[in-house]
Structures are given as C-alpha cells and as structure tokens.
Structure 1
Amino acid sequence: MVESTHRTPSTHSDIELSPLPRSTTPAQSLKEEGELSSTLGREPSSLPPSLYSRPSSPFDQPSTRVAVALPPTDGGRAAYTFLLGAFLIEALVWGFPFSFSNFQAYYLAPDGPYPKDQGLITLTGTLSSGVTYMSALAIFPVLERKPRWRRPCLYIGFVTLIAGLTGSGFAKSPAILVLTQGLLFSLGGSILYAPVISYMHEWWVRRTGFAYGVITAGTSISGIVFPFIIEALLRRFGSGPTLWGLGLVLFVLIGSLLPYIKGRLPDPPRTQEARREAPPQAFDYSFFTRRKFWILWLANLFQALGYFLPTLFISLYAAKVDEGNASLGSISLATINATAIISRVSFGSLSDNPKFTLPLIILSCVGSGVSVLLIWGLGASTTPGLIGFSAAFGVFSGGFSSLWAAMIREVGVQSPAQAATLYGIFSFGRGLGSVLGAPISTVLLNSSPLPINYGMGEYGKLIVFTGTSLVVAGMIGGSAGGWKLKSSARRD
C-alpha cells in the first residue's frame, strides 16, 4: 500500500509533509538530516557519545539502521578497563628496553660473553627502543586509513615480539643480538603497541594527557621491578635461559591481556554502499606547514638525544662508583623509574589544561639537563650522589612523553585518528634521537677524557653532551610560546 501525501494549509504557503518510514529510528532520522555525517566507525563531534548509527548487518539498507549505545568517554568501567590493559601492555613491552642496562652490563663484563663488543651491544640496546619509536611513523598512518587492521596487528606484533625475545637466547654473536633482541623485538613491540594508542584516542578524548600519563607510568613500574629480576636471572642462569624464560612469561601475560585491548567505536563497514554513503575522511597534512609543529618536534628530538643515555649507561657507571656493590646499577635504574612515575602521571594530568603545556616542557627538559650537568657530573662519584642523581633525573625527565597529547593539541590536531598518526610522528623523532645517541656515545666514550675530574673523567664528555641536549630541548620547546605570542600580535 502506497502512503499518500498530506497537505496542510498555511498562511504563507502549503507545506508538504511525509511520514517517516516505519523502519526509521531516531538515529537514522538524524543521519538523514546530516547530523550523523561522518565516516562509519568514526564518531562525529556533534553526536552525543552514547548514540551511534550503523547497519545491523552487512546486507541492511540505510533505511534499517539501528541505534547502538556506546560506552562513555573519559571515564566509566569500560574506559578504565581499557586503560588498565594498556598500562600493563606498556609495562611488558617497554620494560625490557628500559632495563637493557642490565643486559649491557652482563654482556660487556670482563667475564661476560662479549666484553670487547661495546659498539654492537650499545646498538642492540638503542635499537630495542629506537626501532619501536621510529617504526610508528609508518604504522600509525596505515592504521588511520585501515582501522580494521588494528586487531590483527595486535597479534602479529605479539608473535614477532616473542620471537625476537626468545630468539635472542640462541644468539652466539653480538650481531645476532642486534637482529633479535634489538631489531625483531622492537619491531614486534611497535606493531603491538600502535593499536593500543589508536584505541586510546577513542576512549579518552578530553583527558588524553591523564591517559598518556597513566599508560606511560607502566614503563616506570616495570623499570622498578625488571632490573632486579633480570640481574638475578642473568647472574644465576646466564643470558640464554633468562631470555627463554622471560619470553615464556611475556607470552602468557600479554596473550591474556589482548582480549581486553579493543576500541570503543565500531569498525567502518565493509559494504561498498556504506562506503559510498560515508567515505573515509581525508588526512589533513596541513600541520606540516605550521612552525609550532616543527618547534615541538625538534624539542622532542633533542630531548631524546639526552634522555636515553643515562638509563643506558647507569649500570656501567655504577660499577665504577662501587665495584663491590653489584646491585647499585639496578638500584639506580629502579630509582629513575620509580621517581618518573610522579612526573608521568602529574605532568600528563596537568597538561590537559593548555596553559601548563609549555611550562611543563621547559621544566622537564631544563630540570633534567641541569641534574645531569651538576649532579651526575659533579656529585655522582659516590653511592648517595648517584642515587640522588637518579631520583632527580627521573622526576624531571620521566614526564616528557606524557606531554605528547598536549603537544598534539598545541599543533591544532583534534581528530582521534589524526592525533594517533601525529603521535607516530613524534614517536619517530624520539626514536631517531635514541638511535643517533648510540654512535655519538660510543665516540665520546672512546675519546680522551676531560682534563678535569668531571664525570669520573671517562664519562665527562658524555655527561656534557647529555645535559646540553636536554637544556637545548627546553629552550627550543619554550620558543613555541614566543611564536604563539608573535603570531597573535601579527593578527592584531
């Protein structure tokens, strides 16, 4: 039966009214009026977070769309469950690279397996974190365009990471360690970690700084525990059994967490008709033309040049401070990670307020740089001095990565998918700084020591380079505020 059209008189003109089809829902009527204009699977900013429209099956026509209730953002049981899972994934994936100083001390010890291969062992430690950061530049844009690939990437990265860790236990040369513990482990970690960050931007929208802080605190937690576990295992069993056992533990723990790492929003539809109705959003690359982006990216690069070296060499340095205390290196590394928890969570939470972003960048970089130049260089030749430096360095430097969400906001990117991609670009800069630090540190350590008693002589030039890089990072980051004021004055 065809429904007839009704005409209602009006003082100005006749208005034609037509009833909605019986299958139409309130969510569909909003969509037909243009209020649900967005790629399916991407939540439009004008739509309340609890309502979302999608086909009830791949064969449904647009007239049979149903309303789907979504869990809330920035809080609630589902958001915090995801945050806990992401925190634990962070702890397990990043705990090993940030505890590599223990492996390095074992490999390079006079009675260790590779006492004369400092260059390759340092490269292994650098790659174990650097590749994880740098490969994000390629992975995040792919996931932004192919969000359905995020879940398979979790398992591909998981298998690759386990293969790299356990495979390094069979290594008979430092070159094999570079390929397994350095390259393969970190590549798997990056593929596994990227979907976690992508999903995070769906769950946490207004409190992304807080979420970043909590997630990155996972690295600090594992950095407190892992050094002592790894040191004890290496001392008792050697590198092979230690790496095999840790690979098994990670296989069980990460494998049990993956079901809880999932997105808040439904994936985009597969049908061609649905794709025509809601084509994928084009990625906006305009931020590459903004000077503030390049200022913050360079600050991030220089911060990375200085950030990784203390954690990489702290165990070797501790052995020279007190040769009779085999645990001093692990205690120093754990102190850095323990105090970093304070700044990771507090800096991240404070950065949700835009007025704190640039002051926190300056505080983190300059504060950590000064602690390197003064405390490590002049006062860390004793056990209390080394512990004091570790505490100061952790407090100031640890919170910098929690500021990435605020930096992304400063650049002007708002879309969750594009924010995740920009996270990958910042991550690449951090990885580049980490990788460049390996050859630079090798050259500095192999050069003639400073003529003064600074950094116990041998580490003097490395300390000067590290502290200077961090202070320069703070100066560059602070100039982003000056550019903002200059731009505002020009508009006026």
Structure 2
Amino acid sequence: MSTVTTTTEHELQENRRQVSIDEHDSASTIPLEPTEASPGHSLPRADGGKEAWRVLIVAFVFEALLWGFPLSFGVFQQYYSQLPEFQDSAFISVIGTVASGLSYLAAPVMISVVRRFARYRKLMIWVGLSIRAICILSLLASSFATTLGGLVATQGVLYGLGFITFYYPILSILNEYWIARRGLAYGIMCSASGLAGTVFPFAIETSLRRYGYPTTLRAIAVGLCILTGPLIPFLRPRVPVSAATAPSRTDWSFLHDPTFWLYSTSNLAMGLGYFFPSLYIPSYATANGMTPLRGALLLTLMSIAQVLGQLTFGYLSDQPRIPLPFLAGSSMLISSLAVYTAWGLAHTFPVLAAFALIFGFFGAGYTALWGRMGMAVSSEPSAAFAAFGLLNVGKGIGNLAAGPLSGALLGKGVEAGGYGVGRFGTVVLFSGTCLAVSAAVLPLGFVRRLRSR
C-alpha cells in the first residue's frame, strides 16, 4: 500500500521530546512521548486506549477492503484477456494501473487539503461517506460496461477518485490517536492490504469463473457498502475542532537538496518496473499451462511476502546504523535479479512461487522506506511530509505508465520454453531493467555522504 502521514500543530505540541538522527541516515525527528491533554480539553488517550484501538481497527478494515480490490487486479487481467470482446486488446492492464496510480498521484494534493483544512476533519469524514458511493457506483457501472474504455473509466478512474477522497481523511484521524507509536499503527494498518491479498484473488477468481464479471463487480460493490457503511460513526477525531490550528508554511528548500532528487530518480525507476509482475503473473501462469486458480495462488503468495517485507524493511529503517540507501538499493537489486531469472526463466509453478515470495518481500519492502526518505531530506515535519507526497507521485507516474507500456511491450504469441514464454519476454526485461536502474543510482548517496565528511 501507499501510506501517507499528516501532522497538525496541536499534535506536534503533544510531544515532550524528540530524537534527531542524521538527516541523511535512516531517520529524522521521531516523537517519543505524548504529553497530557491541556487543561481546557479532555482528550482520549493517545497511543493506546479504547478509542485509539477502535480507530485503528476501522482504518485496518478500510485498508483491507479499499486496497485489496485494486491490488487483486491481476485476476481480472487474466479473466478479461480470455473474453472475446477484450482478448484482442493489449491495454487491459490500464484499468488496474489507473485505479491505483491515482491514489499515488493525488498524495501531495490530499496532504495539502487535509493540512489546510485540519479543523474540518470530522466534516471531511462525513463528506467521505457520500464520496465513498463513487467507489461503489463505479463498480456497479463497470458491471454494465462492454468496452475497454468503459471499464477504464469506471473500474479505473472513478474507483480511484472515490478511493483517494475518502482514504486520506481516515489517515488524518488515525494520526491524531497514534503519535509516539505511529510506526506500530501504520505497520498494522498497512498489513491489511497484504492480508486482503491472500483472500481477494481466490474469491474474485472463483466468482469470475462461476458468475462472470458483471455479477462479480456488483457483488463487490454491495459488499463494500455493507462492510464499510456501519464503520463511519467510529471515525471520530481526537483533537477538538478549535484545537486543530492552521499549519505553518511548508519549507520547500529540500527541493535544492541532491539527496531528494536521488531518491526521486530511484523511486520513479522503481515505479516504472514494479507493477508488471503483479499485473501479469496470473496470465503468465496460464500461458505456461497452469490453471487460473494457481495464478490467484501466486498473487496470494506475493501478498503474504509483501506484509513480511514491509514490516521488516520498516523496522530496519528505524536502525540508525543501517544506511537508508543500502536498504533501498538492496531491495531493488534483489528484486531486479529475481525478475530477470526467477520470472523470465520460469515455466513451472514452484519456480513462479519462489519468484512471488522473493519479489513480494523485497519489492514491497522498498515502499516501506518512503517515510524515512522524506525525513532524510528535511527535519522540518511539514517539509518531510511534502517530500513523502512527492515520492508518491513518482510511483504514481510509473503506475499509470505501466498499462500503456505493457500494451506496447507484450508480444503476440506464446513460445513454450522461451524466455518469458515469448509473449512476456520484453515485459520481463523492461521490468528488471527499471528495477536495476533504481538500485544503481542509490550508491551515489554513499559517495555524496563520504564527500560531505
């Protein structure tokens, strides 16, 4: 998942002490201990307590449901490619990449909106209740679509717009309740999308096989409505409206820091190559004579590894003795090698399963480092979060480009025993090369750091 953090001035006042670590290492300013509520307010307990855990559980459910669907698009990709009305199109993947790409591209805008109108958070959540209907209506509309363009507009664009409008206010509420232990809270919440990825592919594949895509999309729409609607009242802001003051002006001087552009270049290259495996591994399995059920199982294995990878790399990034460029570079290097070999040369299920586990662990681990990348370029909170949002844009560009690029790179016929079974060979090479470039630029961070000493 892509996660975004927002901060209010009131929240910063709740932290008695902070620890600052070298701005070009793996961490920056970390709040450790929240203070008691001011005399004028009786705030619910932060970093624990009934209200904090309730909000975290609600955020976990929304994360699982709203992210689990687009992350399982590989199953739809394989299914749509078998339908007579869509099988001749090489751009089916655009549907899935648009839905998730919008969530990344909108991060800076939504961060600014949430910070600018922090005192209206509660209203934003309730407005989000109606906006949530866009996600549901988009899926209902998709079920009636009979052209690729119709599916892109509904299952892709409309779903993505509804998602971003509702998702970011939820994160802003979560941030009020989890301050010193926010890493724990985000680790729990982010694991929801990976856990959903262990269930959604099987459920979607079974429904598509038995009932077709119109019925499946309608069932998902109804399910989202039933499961999310009753949770809205539990998203109550912790900070009183009068206490959420306007944020200070963001310091954009980090845009002149070469370290920011180093991470941005690496992130953009990663975004261009990262999405192809999850998009095509079910179709790749089918091209090798495996059943659609095994393709769904591969996505499930990748999701399980993703949860473990994000937790591991997130934990390691908190360790000041481990340089951040080393973590990010090793993540991309191992992912690149796995794509070149374990994916491109795979023709059996065990090899593809090994690839899904390796790529899921190391590839997803990179995204867990974004927060630290933002902190590495600025110790000023609003600037760090702005940098974090811009890193999301890099991945969003790659995400949106993945659909059209894959359509241009896909071959026409399957070549049994060939590299990438022929049809996927160029896609595999492009994906691996992008990840290799992402890894290659990061050692420059070590060089710059040594020269500055």
TM-score, length of structure 2 as denominator length = 0.86
- The AA in structure 1 aligned to 2:69 is F
- The AA in structure 2 aligned to 1:401 is T
Specify the alignment match of 1:351 in structure 2.
317
Contact 1:449 1:461 in 2 (8 A): no
Specify the alignment match of 2:34 in structure 1.
49
Instruction: Report how far residue 196 of structure 1 moved.
Output: 2.8
Q: Secondary structure at the match of 2:42?
A: strand
Specify the alignment match of 1:377 in structure 2.
344
- The AA in structure 2 aligned to 1:337 is S
Specify the alignment match of 1:184 in structure 2.
158
Specify the alignment match of 1:281 in structure 2.
248
Runs of 4+ displaced beyond 6 Å:
447-450
Contact 1:130 1:435 in 2 (8 A): yes
Q: Deviations over 1:291-333 (max 9, x none)?
A: 212211222221121111100011111111124x231210111
Q: Which deviates the most, 295-304 or 146-155?
A: 146-155
Tell me, in whole angstroms, the C-alpha distance in 2 between the residues paired with 1:79 and 1:476.
40
Structure 1: unaligned runs, 5 residues or longer: 1-37, 54-64, 271-277
Q: Match for 2:378 among 403, 412, 426?
A: 412
Instruction: Report how far residue 358 of structure 1 moved.
Output: 3.0
Tell me, in whole angstroms, the C-alpha distance in 2 between the residues paired with 1:240 and 1:448.
29
Pair 321,189 (structure 1): closer, same or farther in 2 beyond 3 Å = same
Specify the alignment match of 1:425 in structure 2.
390
Q: Secondary structure at the match of 2:423?
A: coil
Q: Match for 2:327 among 351, 360, 370?
A: 360
Specify the alignment match of 2:220 in structure 1.
246
Contact 1:107 1:114 in 2 (8 A): yes
Counting aligned pairs with the same residue, the percent is 33
Pair 106,448 (structure 1): closer, same or farther in 2 beyond 3 Å = closer
Written as runs of structure 1 = structure 2, the 5 A alignment for 1:457-468 is 457-468=422-433
- The AA in structure 1 aligned to 2:349 is T
Tell me, in whole angstroms, the C-alpha distance in 2 between the residues paired with 1:193 and 1:429.
19
Contact 1:41 1:266 in 2 (8 A): no
Contact 1:42 1:265 in 2 (8 A): no
Structure 2: unaligned runs, 5 residues or longer: 1-7, 18-32
Contact 1:41 1:268 in 2 (8 A): no
Specify the alignment match of 2:400 in structure 1.
435
Specify the alignment match of 1:22 in structure 2.
none
Contact 1:339 1:395 in 2 (8 A): yes
Tell me, in whole angstroms, the C-alpha distance in 1 between the residues paired with 2:171 and 2:199.
24
Instruction: Report how far residue 207 of structure 1 moved.
Output: 4.5
Instruction: Report how far residue 221 of structure 1 moved.
Output: 0.8
Q: Which deviates the most, 431-440 or 209-218?
A: 209-218
Q: Deviations over 1:48-69 (max 9, x none)?
A: 734344xxxxxxxxxxx72434
Tell me, in whole angstroms, the C-alpha distance in 2 between the residues paired with 1:196 and 1:293.
28
Q: Secondary structure at the match of 1:400?
A: helix
Written as runs of structure 1 = structure 2, the 5 A alignment for 1:219-230 is 219-230=193-204
Specify the alignment match of 1:389 in structure 2.
355
Which has the larger Rg? 1
Specify the alignment match of 2:57 in structure 1.
84
- The AA in structure 2 aligned to 1:185 is Y
Specify the alignment match of 2:29 in structure 1.
none
Query: Aligned pair 1:260/2:234, yes or no?
Result: yes
Pair 279,117 (structure 1): closer, same or farther in 2 beyond 3 Å = closer
Q: Which of structures 1 and 2 has the larger relative contact order (alpha carbons within 8 angstroms, sep 6+)?
A: 2
Pair 210,67 (structure 1): closer, same or farther in 2 beyond 3 Å = closer
TM-score, length of structure 1 as denominator length = 0.80
Q: Deviations over 1:464-488 (max 9, x none)?
A: 111111122122234334323333x
Tell me, in whole angstroms, the C-alpha distance in 2 between the residues paired with 1:43 and 1:374.
51
Pair 348,40 (structure 1): closer, same or farther in 2 beyond 3 Å = closer
Pair 142,164 (structure 1): closer, same or farther in 2 beyond 3 Å = same
Tell me, in whole angstroms, the C-alpha distance in 2 between the residues paired with 1:407 and 1:269.
30
Specify the alignment match of 1:131 in structure 2.
102
Q: Secondary structure at the match of 2:275?
A: helix
Contact 2:282 2:294 in 1 (8 A): yes
Pair 339,280 (structure 1): closer, same or farther in 2 beyond 3 Å = closer
Written as runs of structure 1 = structure 2, the 5 A alignment for 1:326-341 is 326-341=292-307
Tell me, in whole angstroms, the C-alpha distance in 1 between the residues paired with 2:436 and 2:52.
37
- The AA in structure 2 aligned to 1:93 is L
Q: Secondary structure at the match of 1:115?
A: coil
Contact 1:354 1:406 in 2 (8 A): no
Tell me, in whole angstroms, the C-alpha distance in 2 between the residues paired with 1:126 and 1:299.
20
Tell me, in whole angstroms, the C-alpha distance in 1 between the residues paired with 2:366 and 2:93.
24
